[in-house]
Structure 1
Amino acid sequence: MSTETGTVTGSDTSRIHNIGYRSYDGVRLGRAYARRSLYSQSLRGSFGLGRSAKSKVLPMLLCGVMCLVALIIVAVAMAAPPGTMTKLPIKYTAFAIYLQAVIGLFIASQAPQSVSRDLRFKSVPLYFSRPIERVDYVIAKFAAMTSALFILTGLPLVILYVGALLAKFDFADQTAGFGQGMVSVALLSVLFAGIGLVVAALTPRRGFGVAAVIAVLTITYGAVSTVQAIAWSTDSMGAITWLGLFSPITLIDGVQTAFLGASTNFPGGVGPGAGAGVAYLIVVLALVAGSFAVLMRRYRRVGL
């Protein structure tokens, strides 16, 4: 039995030690540091860095495929007899359009990895304990996925540009094309990141998230392309332009055709002019802003 002094009866060696907590004297890094840390961790995770070896296989393989295609194009250009080629066989703005399947698979696999696991294991409320806020979480995840996509799509363009300069193609022409291509993939990265994260955040199941992202990107593009082909076969040329507003990849195609000097992949080569291009750009920006708003609303519902 204990006495008032805290000594146990019958024990001469018992005593109470004061081990009270000390106040923290270090630097308080605050929300900005937490946001940067979450961004860095999410970006690294998009390529499997800091995770298991199995997690690195798919993102690194997809990035390798993108770079390998660029290297093959450069090799063809450099191996051609002198004077037979004056530019690369593919435009910088067309590269991501042709490899959209690889980009779609990357966002489908990595967007759920970025957000679905936090929802599934209910770790999101831990982030929302101080100092980080919901807006910080959404900004960090959105920025990290955008950066990962920009690396995936921008690195092959750098390879193409360096190869074109080594092949001694016109510097001014290649630099202008490279700049247009980088603007195009930057816009694509923001758009695809927003759509991918929104779809993935709707379910805590990673497998469902992967399937849902693939379905959204594939079905919309397939449906739009099919209806555009039907419109072209029936000489409804005006409809082809406006149908492109209903698919993410055709939206990017339309914007870069209208403003970046790209050649459209629409049936019959009918792309939007400057007027319709404004509508394309507005829809892209609206989708990006809408994706951010939906993510904010989604994470308001995740309580402590």
Structure 2
Amino acid sequence: MSSPPEPQAAPTGVIHDLGYRPYAGPRLGERKVAEAFFLTGLRNTYGLGRSARSKVLPMGLLGLMLLPALILVGVLVQARNLLGLDEQIVAYSTYPLTTQVLISVFVAAQAPALISRDLRFSTITLYLARPMRRSVYVLVRVASLTVATFVLIAAPLLLMYVGGLLADLPFGRETGRFLAAIVGAVLLSACLAGPAAVVAALTIRRGLAVAAVIVVLVVSYTVVATIQGISYDSGHESVGEVAGLFSPYTLVNGVQVFLFDSPAATRTPPDGTAMGVLYCVATVLLVAGSIGILMLRYRRIRT
């Protein structure tokens, strides 16, 4: 007959005091979170604080944006008297349209990096946990992309302005034109960042988002420019004026022509007060509508 099993000893354990303490410092709240979030997004658009590979495209595009301006400044400073130049070779207001392909590629590359990545890796749920609201997230992301785009557009304009002063162009005239171009750069940055963010928020695939943004920005400008050229040649300039409402580049240039009497970069700029006001209203609606669509998009995301 087998003996009964010996009773097992009760498990023993030791609790170690590792010194963990809850955070008892100040909680800075939503404002500081939004500021840090904005600066981080702005730095990421140019690859600052990230790998060297992340810096290649944005820094390369910035260099390509500055190169034509540098050449123009060199010609203006060195050969102004020889060529009889008394103003900028390329007007401030037309420079962004001259380099619109570079600007579109930058926006198309960075909008998905800021928007689509958060959706793809579900980091959006962490950001919205607390204390940042959805509306603040949308505004901060759009602001980061807008400011980054503004830096890209305004940098060559500033270089041209400094070159104009070095070439002894009239200070008052150059300053007025430059400030008008800066206002246009702000409007163009917002008009590009808003729709690009909307497109990027509709898909989690970065490659698809990049292609879609390029199609929206580049193809829309190409179609509008074609319609404007045909309407001008056929004598139906009003058709070209209306077509200019459907591309951010022609839209903002039309606003500059109307508000500041800047040189037109299109063949059919807005003619008359009514059309000029329509261009201004369309600009506001484009930016506000993009933000509104983003608000609706992120309202559906669960945290």
- TM-score by length of structure 1 reads 0.92
Conservation of the 8 A alpha-carbon contact between 2:76 and 2:85: yes
Amino acid at match of 2:289: G
State how far apart, in whole Å, the 1-side matches of 2:215 and 2:285 are: 21
1: distance between equivalents of 2:236 and 2:135?
Answer: 45
Distance 1:154 1:239 in 2: 31
Contact 1:31 1:132 in 2 (8 A): yes
1:19 positional shift: 6.6
Q: Secondary structure at the match of 2:85?
A: coil
Return the offset for 1:226: 1.7
Q: Which amino acid aligns with 1:257?
A: V
1:285-300 to 2 correspondences below 5 Å: 285-300=284-299
- Tell me, which stretches of 5 or more residues in structure 1 are unaligned? 1-7
User: SS in structure 1 opposite 2:301?
Assistant: coil
* Paired residues, number: 294
The offset of 1:82, in angstroms, is 2.8
CA separation in 1, counterparts of 2:11 and 2:137? Answer: 57
Q: Deviation per CA, 1:166-205, whole angstroms, max 9, x where unpaired?
A: 1111101110111111011010011111011111111000
Identity %: 42
Residue 81 of structure 1 and its aligned partner are, at CA, apart by: 4.7
Q: Report the equivalent of 2:57.
A: 58
Distance verdict in 2 for CA 1:125–1:270, change over 3 Å: closer
Structure 1 residues 54 and 283 mapped into 2: Cα distance closer, same or farther (>3 Å)? same
Query: 1:72 corresponds to which residue?
Result: 71
- Give the equivalent residue in structure 1 for 2:251: 251
The equivalent of 2:145 in structure 1 is 145
Give the 5 Å matches for 1:191-210.
Answer: 191-210=191-210
Q: Distance in 2 between matches of 1:127 and 1:155?
A: 32
8 Å CA contact 1:254, 1:272 repeated in 2? no
> In structure 2, the residue corresponding to 1:156 is in which secondary structure?
helix
CA RMSD, Structure 1 to Structure 2 (Å): 1.8
Q: Which residue of 2 aligns with 1:231?
A: 231
Residue by residue over 1:21-70, the C-alpha shift from the partner in whole angstroms, topping out at 9 and shown as x without a partner, is 64432111111111111101110010011222111101001101111111
Matched residue type, 2:28: L
Equivalent position amino acid for 1:214 in 2: I
**Structure 2 counterpart of 1:263, which letter?**
P
**Cα distance between partner residues in 2 of 1:32 and 1:258:** 37
- Per the alignment, do residues 82 and 211 of structure 1 end up closer, same or farther by CA in structure 2, a change over 3 Å counting? same
TM norm structure 2? 0.92
> Are 2:32 and 1:42 aligned?
no
**Offset at residue 283 of structure 1 (A):** 0.7
Give 3-state SS (helix, strand or coil) of 1:129's partner.
coil
Separation in structure 2 between the aligned mates of residue 253 and residue 174 of structure 1, nearest angstrom: 18
Q: Does 1:213 align with 2:213?
A: yes
Is the contact between residue 111 and residue 197 of structure 1 (CA under 8 Å) also seen in structure 2?
A: yes
Which stretch of structure 1 is more off in the superposition, 224-233 or 181-190? 224-233
Contact (CA 8 Å) 1:161, 1:178: kept in 2 or not? yes
Following the alignment from structure 1 to structure 2, what is the Cα–Cα distance between the partners of residues 120 and 30? 27
Inter-partner Cα distance in structure 2 for 1:157 and 1:232: 29
Shift of 1:16: 4.1
Aligned to 2:3: none
- SS of aligned partner of 1:75: helix
